Amino acid sequence: MKISFLWAIFFFFTEFGLQGWSSPSLVTGKSLYANQCAECHGERGQGVEDEYSKPLVGDWPLEKIIRYVDKTMPDYDPKLTKGKNAELVSKFIFESFYQKPELFQKDSKVQLSRLTNRQFRQSLADLFSHFEGQPKIQNRVHGLRGKYYNAKGMNKKKTIKHEQIDGKIDFNFKDQAPIQGMDVKKFSIYWEGSIKPRETGWYEFFVQSPNGFSLRINQNDSLPTIDEKVTAGMMREVSAKLFLLGGRPYPLSLEYFKFDDPNASIELKWKTPLGEKEIIPKEFLFTEKVSSSFITQQNLPPDDYSQGFERGIQIDDTWDEAVTFAVLEAAEHAAEKVSRLIRGRENDPDQREKVVAIAEDFVRLAFREKLSQEELEWIVHRKFNPKTPLHTSIEKVVLFTLKSPRFL
């Protein structure tokens, strides 16, 4: 009798399953979901292609889910999950995955990021300006300050005759002197001040004259940007390209001289990244001369603009090579500056201490954080030893620092 009763129970569940049994003690939300919902929504609520492909996640409260399931689910026969069954399956969905969207996030490839080209160039410029002086214009008088000299022999600045502010460099003196009372045959003019471009990019500068001239832009003591001191009296135009950061002032000087040439004239022009060739307008020139800035002249591969803004996500051999050349340029610049700083005092212990202190500050600023003594020992102090010239040691520190992921 007992055995027959057990077989009867087994036969009942085999024939009718849990769907026909509504007692909460035997019917669970998990089993109801498996029987009534998983076919369309997946075993774990992840969705099923060609049925309901979206995961079962959202922000509805449990009560609203229960009402929705009670009225509409499953869509092929809403009567199957009414009342208590709707409550059980809804609670299972709510607690198992409805509030856990992270369960359905697909594994994504790790995407590295770096400084954008603009950030990289700006960071280098600001880093070196900390030690070489910030290029700030205090006196916002437009134009260049011009000093007019009589020349004699090889002395181009024999006697100063006049000073004035010139809004732009566009002069045709023909066979006359620039200022009354100056020597017609031998004279020179020295203009200096600053230039402040708006856009970031490549600028081309042009000087046109039949006479001698020398142009420096962002170069205080180094070789001129354009050097045409030797002249045969023939009209010529010479140009040079520079990469400049917009919104930053740069020192500018133009030395011009005439020695027995039949005519005298000079024009200073530029071609901006987005503009046409023109005489440099007065609004971009200032009488105050600022410190020079380190601006790398290395071409860099373009940043990604697929999202409508620049992103530094390209990290490949092309980018690495370009950045390496830019860093080498920066290291050479630092070595040159240190060489000038300690010229004639290379073996002075005080000078060595000063250069080491500069190197430590450079690394801290580049990494944007304080460093432990152990880190400074590894990054800086090991590069300095009595047998290595100081300019070589600082070069090694700059190379290591600027190629580090902590800077880039």
**Tens of pLDDT along 167-196?**
999 999 999 999 998 999 999 999 999 999
Distance (Å, whole) CA 181 – CA 216: 29
* C-beta of residue 353 within 8 angstroms of C-beta of residue 390: no
What is the tens place of the pLDDT at every residue in 232-290? 678 999 999 999 999 999 999 999 999 889 999 999 999 999 999 999 999 999 999 99
What is the topology classification, in CATH, of domain 144-286?
A: Jelly Rolls (2.60.120)
pTM of the model: 0.72
- The CATH number assigned to the domain with range 18-104 reads 1.10.760.10
> If 0-12 CB within 10 Å is exposed, 13-18 middle and 19+ buried, where does residue 117 land?
buried
- For residue 78, what pLDDT band results from cuts at 50, 70 and 90? confident
18-104 and 144-286 have identical folds: no
What single-letter DSSP state applies at residue 142? B
Give the CA diameter of the chain. 138
Neighbours of 335 (CB within 10 A): 19
* C-beta of residue 252 within 8 angstroms of C-beta of residue 285: yes
Domain-by-domain residue ranges, the chain?
18-104, 114-133+298-408, 144-286
Instruction: State the pLDDT at residue 347.
Output: 67
- For residue 2, what pLDDT band results from cuts at 50, 70 and 90? very low
pLDDT above 90 coverage of the chain, percent: 54
Top pLDDT among 20 and 229 is at 229
Cis, bond preceding 24 (omega within 30 deg of 0): no
Three-state SS at 17: coil
Strongest mean pLDDT among 88-97, 224-233, 316-325: 316-325
* C-beta of residue 207 within 8 angstroms of C-beta of residue 190: no
Of 186, 193, 194, the residue nearest 212 (C-alpha): 186
